[in-house]
Structure 1
Amino acid sequence: MTINDVFLEHHDGAETAALLVELCDVYADAYGVEPGGEKTAAFRRRSEKQFERPGFGLVTARGGGRLVGFVFGYTLPAGDTHWWGGVQPEPSVEFLEETGSRTWVLSEIEVRRAWQGRGVGRALHDAALGARGEERATLATGPDAAAQPVYESWGWRRVGRIPGDEGDFYSAYDLFVLELPVSR
C-alpha cells in the first residue's frame, strides 16, 4: 500500500477521546509493545491530559479500513515557559516568550510498523502543521532518538536539551523547533 491509499482526517479533543483505544493500538504497534502494557498505559495517561488543552488538534491516517497513524499536539499557553524549563544552552528571553498563540507542541506522531517508510508520517506531519496558525512548532525526543535525523530532514532544528522530570522515560530530552507555516 502507498500513501495514496491513506485518508487523512482532522479531529478536535472531543472527537479524539472517542478514538483513544485505536490511538493506543497504533502506539503499541509503532513501538512493538503490548497494547495493554505499561508503555501504552503511560501513553494513554499522557494523552488524556492533552485533549482539552488549548489548540489541541489530531490528524489521523486510515488505510485498509483501520487507523494506521496519527499526530497530535496543543498550543503552549501565554506566559507558560515550563516547556522550555532548564533548556541548555539557555536561549534568549525573546525565544522563551509564549503568547498563547506562538508555539504548537507536536506531542505525538506514530505510524504502525507496516506503514513506516511509506510517507505516512510525513503526510501526517505536514497536514497537522499546515493547518496551524502559530509562528512555530516544537517537539521533544529522547537523546539520540532514531527519529532525530528524520525531523532534521523535515526542517526541524535542535535548540537544546532539557532535563527530564521524575518518572519520565528519559533523564533528558532534546528540543526541536520548526518555523511555521510548513513548506515542502
Structure 2
Amino acid sequence: MTINDVSLTHHNGQQAAALLEELCDAYADAYGAEPGGEKTVAFRRRAEKQLARPGFALVTARDETWLVGFVFGYTLPARDTHWWGGMQPEPSAEFLEETGSRTWVLSEIEVRRAWQGKGIGRALHDEVLGARGEERATLATGPDAPAQPVYESWGWRRVGRIPGDEGDYYSAYDLFVLELPASR
C-alpha cells in the first residue's frame, strides 16, 4: 500500500470527538494493544482532554474502508503551560516564553501496523504541520524511544528532558522542537 492509496482529511475538535472510537481502534492496532485495554483507555482520556484545547487539529488517513492513521495536537497556552516544567538542561527564559500562538504540541501520531513503513506517518506529519501558523512545534517521547531517530530524520531536534508526573507511562520524557515553515 502506498500513500496514494489513502486520503488525508483535516478535522476540528468537534469532528474529532465523533471519530474517537475509530481513533482508539487505530491507536490500539498501532501498538498491538487491546482496544479496551489500559493503554487504549489512557489514550482515550488524553484525547478527550485535548479536543477542546485551543488550536486543536486532527488529520486522519483513510483507505477505502479504514482509518489507517492519524495525527493530532494543540497550541500551548500563554500561561500555566507546564510543558517545559523541570526541563534539563534548563533553557533560556526566551525559549520558555509562550504567547498562546507560539508552539503547537504534536501530541499523537499513530499508524496501524499493516500500514507502517509506507510513508503514511510522514505524510500525516507534514500535512498537519504544514497547516500550522505557530513558530514551532514540540513533542515528547519516552527516553530512547524507537521513534526518536525517525523524528530526528524529519528535522526535529532534542532540546532536553522533563520528569514525568505520577501515573505517567514514563518517569521522564525527552522533548523535541521543530521550527515550522510559517516561521522561516
Q: Please indicate, yes or no, whether the TM-score normalized by the shorter chain is above 0.5.
A: yes
Q: What is the rounded CA distance, in whole Å, between the counterparts of 1:178 and 1:105 in structure 2?
A: 10
Does the 8 Å contact 1:81/1:97 carry over to 2?
A: no
Mind listing any 5+ residue stretches in structure 1 that lack a counterpart?
Answer: none
- Per-residue CA deviations over 1:101-160 (Å, capped at 9, x if unaligned) read 000000000000000000000000000000000000000000000000000000000000
TM-superposed CA distance for 1:80, in Å, is 3.1
CA separation in 1, counterparts of 2:81 and 2:63? 38
Name the TM-score, length of structure 1 as normaliser: 0.97
Aligned residue for 2:29, secondary structure, equals helix
Extract unaligned runs of 5+ from structure 2: none
Moved more, 79-88 or 54-63: 79-88
Is residue 2:19 matched to residue 1:16?
no
Contact 1:33 1:40 in 2 (8 A): yes
1:178 is the counterpart of 2:181: no
**Counterpart of 2:86 in structure 1: which amino acid?**
G
Matches of 1:181 and 1:139, distance apart in 2: 17
Q: Which residue of 2 aligns with 1:56?
A: 56
* Secondary structure of 2:110's aligned partner: strand
Q: What is the match of residue 163 of structure 1? A: 163
Alignment of 1:74-93 (within 5 A): 74-93=74-93
**Aligned residue type for 1:56:** F
| 2:157 aligned partner, one-letter code | R
Identical amino acids, percent of aligned pairs: 85
CA shift, 1:65, in A, is 1.4
Rounded to whole Å, the distance in 1 between the matches of 2:153 and 2:80 is 29
Question: Take 1:27 and 1:180, find their aligned partners in 2: how far apart are those partners?
Answer: 26
TM-score of the superposition, structure 2-length normalised? 0.97
- Aligned to 1:107, what secondary structure does the other structure show? strand
Aligned residue type for 1:166: E
Contact 1:88 1:162 in 2 (8 A): yes
- The alpha carbon displacement at 1:81 in A equals 3.9
Q: CA RMSD in A?
A: 0.8
Question: C-alpha deviations, 1:70-94, integer Å up to 9, x for none?
Answer: 0000000013341000000000000
CA distance in structure 1 between the aligned counterparts of 2:132 and 2:92, rounded to whole angstroms? 24
The equivalent residue for 1:71 is 71
Q: Distance in 2 between matches of 1:73 and 1:66?
A: 21
Q: Partner residue of 1:133?
A: 133
Q: Which amino acid aligns with 2:176?
A: F
- Amino acid across the alignment from 2:48: E
In the aligned structure 2, how far is the partner of 1:80 from the partner of 1:165? 16
Structure 1 equivalent of residue 123 of structure 2 = 123
Contact 1:81 1:96 survives alignment (8 Å): no
Superposition misfits of 4+ residues, deviation over 3 angstroms: none
Give, as a single letter, the amino acid of the residue that structure 2 aligns with 1:115. Answer: W
Q: Does the residue aligned with 2:80 lie in a helix, a strand or coil? A: coil
